[in-house]
């Protein structure tokens, strides 16, 4: 087993769709980014790349590269899974935390979990999605940003 950790933070702004864990969420603001800004998928992608010893998301998908502008983060995640597969590694489990004051993620947590299980091709009971607020503290607490943390285990595929 190989463990990997990932973290990301994106700014919440007007005029963008809010996409978290591959799920579009109804909210007045969305996450700013070169891609769709899906902070949770970015943290998961980095955790996979880290566990696979394959660098990080910024090396593989530079935000200066026009071909990644507006790209779905699911595509980036799939590419990281391919990199892992080339090294004969696949995801065993994922645990994650989304740090957001608003919107409240309780109602969509289950849907995000199901989506992540599908994307990672593992059972939903091996996917953790926890939603935390920052108790009003810092840029996340004031609703200016959303962050995510992820830990994955990769196992050798045979
Ligand atoms: Mg990012």
Domain range annotation of the chain: 2-156
Contact yes or no for 49/77 (Cβ under 8 A)? no
Q: How far is the CA of 76 from the centre of ligand 1 (A)?
A: 11
**β pairing state of 18-20 and 23-25:** antiparallel
Assess whether pLDDT exceeds 80 at residue 50.
yes
Residue 34: both structure tokens together: 């070169």
- Residues with Cβ within 8 Å of 46's Cβ and at least 6 positions away in sequence, in order, are 4, 5, 6, 7, 8, 56, 57, 150
pLDDT band at 62 (very low <50, low <70, confident <90, very high): confident
CA distances for 67 relative to 61, 76, 93, 150, angstroms: 9, 12, 30, 26
With pLDDT > 70 as the criterion, what percentage of the chain qualifies? 100
pLDDT band at 143 (very low <50, low <70, confident <90, very high): very high
Residue 65: both structure tokens together: 């590269």
Assess whether pLDDT exceeds 80 at residue 158.
no
Q: In the predicted model, what is the mean pLDDT of residues 9-14? A: 97
Q: In the predicted model, what is the mean pLDDT of residues 2-31? A: 97
pLDDT in tens, 77-93: 999 999 999 999 999 99
Mean pLDDT of the chain: 95
Q: How far is the CA of 158 from the centre of ligand 1 (A)?
A: 31
Q: How far is the CA of 147 from the centre of ligand 1 (A)?
A: 9
pLDDT band at 48 (very low <50, low <70, confident <90, very high): very high
Q: How far is the CA of 56 from the centre of ligand 1 (A)?
A: 11
pLDDT band at 41 (very low <50, low <70, confident <90, very high): very high
Q: How far is the CA of 59 from the centre of ligand 1 (A)?
A: 12
Q: How far is the CA of 94 from the centre of ligand 1 (A)?
A: 18
CA dist 101 and 143 (Å) reads: 6
Which CATH class, in words, describes the domain spanning 2-156?
alpha beta
Q: How far is the CA of 37 from the centre of ligand 1 (A)?
A: 6
Q: In the predicted model, what is the mean pLDDT of residues 149-158? A: 94
Q: How far is the CA of 135 from the centre of ligand 1 (A)?
A: 23
DSSP state at residue 50: H
Sign (positive or negative) of CA dihedral 123, 114, 145, 74: positive
Q: In the predicted model, what is the mean pLDDT of residues 20-31? A: 97
Residue 157 is predicted with a pLDDT of 86
Residue 68 is predicted with a pLDDT of 79
Write down the residue that tokens 């109804």 correspond to: 26
Q: Where are the beta strands (DSSP E) in 108-144?
A: 127-132
Sign (positive or negative) of CA dihedral 82, 84, 85, 87: positive
Assess whether pLDDT exceeds 90 at residue 141.
yes
């Amino acid at each position: 087993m190989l463990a990997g950790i990932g973290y990301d933070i994106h700014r919440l702004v007007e005029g963008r769709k809010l996409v978290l864990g591959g799920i579009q969420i109804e909210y007045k603001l969305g996450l700013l980014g070169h891609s769709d800004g899906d902070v949770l998928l970015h943290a998961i992608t980095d955790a996979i790349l880290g566990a696979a010893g394959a660098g990080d998301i910024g090396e593989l998908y530079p935000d200066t590269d026009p071909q990644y502008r507006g790209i779905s983060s699911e595509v980036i995640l799939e590419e990281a899974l391919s990199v892992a597969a080339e090294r004969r590694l696949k995801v065993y489990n994922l645990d994650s935390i989304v740090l957001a004051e608003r919107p409240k993620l309780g109602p969509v947590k289950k849907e995000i979990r199901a989506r992540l299980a599908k994307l990672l091709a593992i059972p939903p009971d091996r996917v953790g999605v926890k939603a935390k607020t920052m108790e009003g503290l810092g840029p996340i607490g004031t609703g200016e940003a959303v962050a995510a943390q992820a830990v994955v285990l990769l196992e050798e595929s045979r």
